[in-house]
Structure 1
């Protein structure tokens, strides 16, 4: 029994120091953690707020809406020959830029030239016939009418003497009147006939000249020239093949536009004629001037979002422009010039913070147009005032 008791006592004595040690160790850990927390908390100071300032300046303020789109031809021209023929010359390819009047292609002109030569001969022949008809008509008009004078008849009657002779003389005079009437009628008929011939000859000449004009047009149509300066979009045909009315597709330089898509909220601010800046992906630093030239009245729905297309024209089309390439447009929807302005980040509910002699004070201002970058200040500030833009 004693030995058993001794065992339990010994076990209790051994257990107590272990428990005390565990408690002591745990307390030490907590104490260390507490010390660490205190140390870390003491060193974690808040970072100072960075303050930036700007000057009140005078200049323009504007708002814009931006959208992306693609370069395309607003209208293209299909060019061809006025008659079919064998293509003997092709001077351009797709992508070429051409000047007005530049020769683009030709077909064999031999047949058209033969038509011109024949039509020219017909004009000469008709002109000769008209000249002959005019001469004949003039001659008919100049032919005198036979008309014996009354004195001759009276003299003849007086010589024969007597009423019967006089009567005979009178009968003779009557026959002369009939002859004169017939001669006048014949002359009138001749004048009418030559007049009809003259009209026919003139009509023949007119028709011959019209045929010559048409033949010359067909001959000119064996050559395609550029009606306006622009870029070749497509070429159909090769030298040696048959060509007709659709050989070359040309887009005029002035017909190049960017078709951009604007949201319903953005298009509400768009108007035809508004100035724009166009950016192309091959040179993002260059800004090309343009204008809004058309706004679609109906929108299209994509992913439950309504968008409206607008056409933006170039004031001057760059030579390196590629049809179909992407573009970004920024349309100026409102602007004012020569006004005081501050960065928009400096204005909070009509109040700005002004730094005067190293001290900051809040000041109420009257704002005007709130632009994309700056806000117009109508009153409350002077040019050159220093205002806080951040860190307030």
Structure 2
């Protein structure tokens, strides 16, 4: 009998504990359920107002300098000085690096001496030309032989008259030859070519009026022309030597920041290699790209906003300055490059840092607008009235990311449904 009593008491305790556990679980469930908001079953609404409607294309990009210069030496040599390091800010004309200039200096001195010698030779040739010593001598005619009129005219020597042979001897002696300062008035023979500023010798060679002459059957060059050519060649050689001497120093063509230095003192460098990379960080810009679906909306001059990764709360005004006409394949997509310039370049920008870009591709101001989510696919909205919700067809203008322009069908102050809109008319 005692055994049965103890067994009953144990079962009673188990029942009580189970009941208590059920009460606790129910209380917790009620508390959790009471903390959640009751679904209203009614969609959100908004009022039709006036304001700005904007369409935009958003993308990401990075900062890059507006100008980047790669600088090198104009001659081979050994680096003797490197005056900058990456990150240094430099001014226009500042010497950045130098190489040994011993050989280029000697070359300049040699070519300058050659030019002096050539100029002296040119002066001598000009003096000789003025004195007439550079012309071929004209030989005196043999007895009984006359010079052609053209040769006489070019040489300045007057002809001597010759005796005319007769059939019978004459008792009178032949008159002795006399010198005349004027050529005879007789016309030249029919076989002789007409006179001109440039005559001909008996063998047909040209005489006078040229840069070269023929003496004793050999052609000689004009000394004046040869001297002038020598001076020109010496001037060209001196200019090249001076350029090489200037090229032993790298000077900054623009003010900016040094991005890279490719060598150190003692290194051997060659012509045409890049030794210093310089960037104009004062004209920093944003380089980005957009998918082909949006590239057609971009135009030069469109306004934009830029947000930097290290300044997420600030927006900087910019504008589109370049849109690439040719796209680049990126997997299955084709992307088009776009470059944006800051309206005012922010301070302390970093080359290569990331940026978020939002380009305005369309905008209207002071128009009736509703949230974009309120406009259904068929161009209608749901208007809430005292009699209930009504579907109304409206005219839609510019569709923006946040708002849509309403051109007809609504008035300012109308209440429209923004979420939970069914597509089928009610």
Q: What TM-score do you get using the length of structure 2 for normalisation?
A: 0.62
- Tell me the CA shift for residue 363 of structure 1: 4.6
- Does residue 404 of structure 2 align to residue 378 of structure 1? no
Match among 339, 344, 350 for residue 313 of structure 1: 339
Counting matched residue pairs gives: 340
Counterpart CA distance in 2 for 1:191 and 1:72 is 62
Gaps of 5+ in 2: 138-154, 164-169, 185-200, 214-219, 422-426
Cα gap change, 1:102 to 1:296, in 2 (>3 Å): farther
Cα gap change, 1:277 to 1:229, in 2 (>3 Å): farther
1:146 maps to what in 2?
157
Counterpart CA distance in 1 for 2:340 and 2:414 is 40
DSSP-derived class of the 1:328 partner: strand
Counterpart CA distance in 2 for 1:117 and 1:352 is 91
1:10 maps to what in 2?
none
Counterpart CA distance in 1 for 2:266 and 2:385 is 81
Cα gap change, 1:191 to 1:101, in 2 (>3 Å): closer
Counterpart CA distance in 2 for 1:295 and 1:169 is 96
1:165 maps to what in 2?
173
DSSP-derived class of the 1:269 partner: helix
Alpha-carbon contact 1:353-1:388 (below 8 Å) kept: yes
- Tell me the CA shift for residue 308 of structure 1: 3.6
- Tell me the CA shift for residue 65 of structure 1: 3.7
Deviations 1:50-84 (A, max 9, x none): 96644512324213243x34445798543111112
**Equivalences for 1:85-164 in 2 at 5 Å?**
85-98=77-90, 100-140=92-132, 145-147=156-158
> Once superposed, what is the RMSD of the aligned Cα atoms?
4.9
Match among 373, 395, 400 for residue 366 of structure 1: 395
Counterpart CA distance in 2 for 1:235 and 1:298 is 31
Counterpart CA distance in 1 for 2:286 and 2:330 is 20
Alpha-carbon contact 2:160-2:178 (below 8 Å) kept: no
Match among 343, 364, 372 for residue 337 of structure 1: 364
Alpha-carbon contact 2:284-2:341 (below 8 Å) kept: no
Deviations 1:3-23 (A, max 9, x none): xxxx9xxxxxx9xxx9xxx9x
Counterpart CA distance in 2 for 1:188 and 1:64 is 81
Match among 227, 232, 240 for residue 201 of structure 1: 227
- Does residue 92 of structure 2 align to residue 62 of structure 1? no
Alpha-carbon contact 2:49-2:369 (below 8 Å) kept: yes
Name the one with the larger helix percent. 1
